[in-house]
Structure 1
Amino acid sequence: MKDFGLKKLYYSISEVSKITGLEQYILRYWETEFEQLKPSKNRAGNRIYTNKDIKLILEIKKLLREEKYTIEGAKKILSGLNKSPEKDNFAVQNDMTPEKNGKRELKEDLEEIKKFLIELKEKL
């Protein structure tokens, strides 16, 4: 992934296209095929991608382009990552119930926002 200097919280589809090396129409198509890829939209209705969305896109690209999976095969792998028994056992052993896991993700997002704001303040 290219480094554009300041890490952002949200990226436009054109920025994600440049970062991932994929055409915008491919990104839009993948949204219809992969249920995990659902970028939010801003007030103007434009897609806004997070860093997690970009990581997912790069994983999909790797599965399809490098590892030569079909879209259906890539869907199975991605859904398997979310529902694997090993992951469920790990979650239970580490007390990562969906509620606690959601709080953990929120905490990680807030830490990322905090880091972003500190970096922004330092640049001003």
Structure 2
Amino acid sequence: MPYKEREISKMYYTMGEVAILFDVNQSLIRFYEKEFDILQPKKNKKGNRYFTPEDLENLKLIFHLIREKGYTLNGAKEYLKNNMATSKDNIKVITSLENLKKFLIEVSEQL
């Protein structure tokens, strides 16, 4: 079997790292934290936010609904309230397809 690199994932991501990952301002992430109940980053005594990988998945879901699907904030809240399990499954499928696309592009460039 060929060697497969393990993807290294962190337990917690800082607010700055999350803002860079999603290419948005930190204020937008703080705003979404107030608006959506599914975002619950951990806070230390200083008030710094630390996001778990689950929080990142929830953020990805929120950005997908608002930016790609065109939902309003209230529409996205209602959709998440009624279809949370389906939404998470859809995001997992989309993520795996994006990874497959990246892999196929890399293979075609090597040919």
Question: When the two structures are superposed, what TM-score results if normalisation uses the length of structure 1?
Answer: 0.59
How far, CA to CA, are the matches of 2:24 and 2:85 in structure 1? 28
Structure 1 counterpart of 2:69: 67
Structure 2 counterpart of 1:45: 47
Q: How many residues align?
A: 80
After TM superposition, give the deviation of residue 28 of structure 1 in Å. Answer: 0.2
Q: Which runs of 5+ in 2 are unaligned?
A: 1-6, 87-111
Deviations 1:42-87 (A, max 9, x none): 2332000000000110110010011000000000111112489xxx
Deviations 1:90-114 (A, max 9, x none): xxxxxxxxxxxxxxxxxxxxxxxxx
Greater RCO, CA 8 A, separation 6+: 1
Structure 1 counterpart of 2:38: 36
Q: Which runs of 5+ in 1 are unaligned?
A: 85-124
Structure 2 counterpart of 1:16: 18
How far, CA to CA, are the matches of 2:51 and 2:85 in structure 1? 24
Cα 1:80–1:57 shift into 2, 3 Å: same
After TM superposition, give the deviation of residue 8 of structure 1 in Å. Answer: 0.4
How far, CA to CA, are the matches of 2:28 and 2:72 in structure 1? 15
CA RMSD of superposed structures (Å): 1.8
How far, CA to CA, are the matches of 1:43 and 1:19 in structure 2? 25
